[in-house]
A = this chain, B = another copy of it.
Amino acid sequence: MKIIVLKFGGTSVGSVERIRKVAKIIRSYSIKYKVIVLSSAMSGTTNKLINMSKKISKNFADHEYDTLVSAGEQISCSLLAGQLLAHGIKSKSWMAWQIPILTEGKHKYSRIKYINKTKVLKFLKIGGIPIIAGFQGVDKDLNITTIGRGGSDSSAIMVAKFFKAERCVIYTDVEGVYTTDPNKLNSAKKIKNISYEEMLEMASLGSKVMQPQSIQDARLNRINIEVKSSFVKKKGTLITKRKNIINNKIITGISSTNNDAKVTLLGVKDRPGIAASIFKPLSHNSINVDMVVQNISSDGKETDLTFTIKSYDLNKTKKIINNNKKISFKKMIFDKNVSKVSIIGVGMVTTPGVTFRMFQALAKKNINIQVISTSEIKISVLIKRANVVKAIKSLHTEFDLDK
Contact = CB atoms under 8 A, between A and B. Distances in A.
Interface of A: 16, 19-20, 49, 52-53, 55-57, 59-61, 63-65, 67-68, 70-72, 74-75, 77-79, 81-83, 85-86, 92-93, 95, 97-98, 142-144
A225 to B, nearest CB: 28
Copies of this subunit: 2
A19 B64 CA distance: 14
Contact of A74 (B16, B20, B59, B68): B68
A31 to B, nearest CB: 23
Given A82-B61, A98-B142, A67 B56 contact: no
Which of A16, A78, A142 has the most chain B CB atoms closer than 10 A to its own CB?
A78
Given A74-B71, A142-B98, A81 B93 contact: no
A72 B67 CA distance: 11
Contacts of A82: 53, 56-57, 60-61, 64-65, 68
Contacts of A59: 86
Contact of A64 (B53, B64, B93, B142): B93
Nearest to A17: B55
Q: Is the interface of A mostly helix, strand, loop or mixed?
A: helix
A64 B79 contact: yes
A79 B64 CA distance: 7
Given A16-B55, A61-B81, A97-B142, 17 more contacts: A19-B56, A52-B75, A52-B79, A53-B82, A56-B79, A57-B83, A57-B86, A61-B86, A64-B78, A64-B79, A65-B78, A67-B77, A68-B75, A68-B78, A68-B82, A70-B74, A98-B143
29 contacts: A16-B52, A16-B55, A19-B56, A20-B56, A52-B75, A53-B79, A56-B86, A57-B82, A57-B83, A57-B86, A60-B82, A64-B79, A64-B81, A64-B93, A65-B78, A67-B77, A67-B78, A67-B93, A68-B74, A68-B75, A68-B78, A68-B79, A68-B82, A71-B71, A71-B72, A71-B75, A71-B78, A97-B142, A98-B143
A61 B77 CA distance: 13
A79 B81 CA distance: 27
Contacts of A144: 95
Contacts of A49: 75
A270 to B, nearest CB: 48
Contacts of A60: 82, 86
Contacts of A97: 97, 142
Which of A68, A71, A86, A142 has the most chain B CB atoms closer than 10 A to its own CB?
A71
Nearest to A75: B71
A67 B61 contact: no
A217 B385 CA distance: 69
Nearest to A70: B74
A65 B72 CA distance: 15
Nearest to A59: B86
B78 A95 contact: no
Contacts of A20: 56
A55 B16 CA distance: 7
B71 A85 contact: no
A82 to B, nearest CB: 4
Contacts of A77: 67
A81 B60 CA distance: 10
A56 B16 contact: yes
Contacts of A142: 97-98
A72 to B, nearest CB: 8
A363 B61 CA distance: 64
A107 to B, nearest CB: 12
A56 B52 CA distance: 27
